[in-house]
Structure 1
Amino acid sequence: MSAKDRPSLGFGDELDDFDPAAWAKPKAPTHKPAAEETKQAAEAAGFRSREPGRGEAPPALVPAPLQRRRRTGRNAQFNIKARPETIEAFTRIADANGWGLGETFERATELLERENAIR
């Protein structure tokens, strides 16, 4: 099949007039607005700044969660579903003893093995 046998797609003439320079990226504006102009435009558009105003107290910070990660050689992951109160009790035990969650799980497993070996 030669090119002459193929049907026209209907835009051949338009490609002859195509100028890639017409699609060039527009130049960035050379004028940088003043900070006050930017602030007024943002307020007019309904933008609310997250930064505290002058004289305002910063919002109270939420304390960071307790960091429990340590290098222990444990590298296998074990995911289970539990009720929220069970998870809270488990983490409370770990925190009270200064253990990581993996260490707490290991100790709980050891206790269960000992208890079941007696029976």
Structure 2
Amino acid sequence: MTNERPDLGFGGELDGFDPKAWDSATKKNSVPRPPKEATMQMAEAIGFKSREPKLPVTVNHKIDRRRRTGRNAQFNLKARPETIEAFCRIADRKGWGLGETLEEAVMLLERELSGAK
């Protein structure tokens, strides 16, 4: 077995190649890019249809009820949709988070059941 590599015929063309000269020639003749808006207008004018998703016009913003409070225990339960809506409505009306609303409800129930007012 021989240690010499077979000649593939590319060596002669690449011997005189200077990457620095090639890179600077590209920079001299380069044309600046047009703004994205102009490109989009030209594309629409000739009938090009983009595949990029368009953002929805109306966005339904949900109320963020999460706060950093130190509450770290999970409490999951099932309830009727009407009960959950009423619970959230009370929280929104008072400006409380859901954990705060639960604490207030438990406190009121304890007060009611103990007879203290």
Give the structure-1-normalised TM-score.
0.51
- Give, in angstroms, the shift of residue 51 of structure 1: 4.1
Structure 1 residue ranges (4+ consecutive) displaced by more than 4 angstroms after TM superposition: none
Query: Identity of aligned pairs, percent?
Result: 61
- Give, in angstroms, the shift of residue 98 of structure 1: 0.3
Cα-Cα RMSD: 2.5
Q: Which runs of 5+ in 2 are unaligned?
A: 1-42, 44-48
For residues 51 and 74 of structure 1, do their structure 2 counterparts lie closer, same or farther at Cα, with a shift above 3 Å needed? closer
- Residue 49 of structure 1 aligns with an amino acid whose one-letter code is R
| Residue correspondences, number | 69
Alignment correspondent of 1:84: 81
Structure holding more helix per residue = 2
Q: Which runs of 5+ in 1 are unaligned?
A: 1-35, 37-42, 53-57
CA deviations on 1:11-49 (whole Å, 9 max, x unpaired) are xxxxxxxxxxxxxxxxxxxxxxxxx8xxxxxx8xxxx83
- Structure 2 CA distance for aligned equivalents of residues 51 and 117 of structure 1: 58
- Give, in angstroms, the shift of residue 70 of structure 1: 0.7
Alignment correspondent of 2:101: 104
Give the structure-2-normalised TM-score.
0.52
Alignment correspondent of 1:73: 70
- Give, in angstroms, the shift of residue 84 of structure 1: 0.4
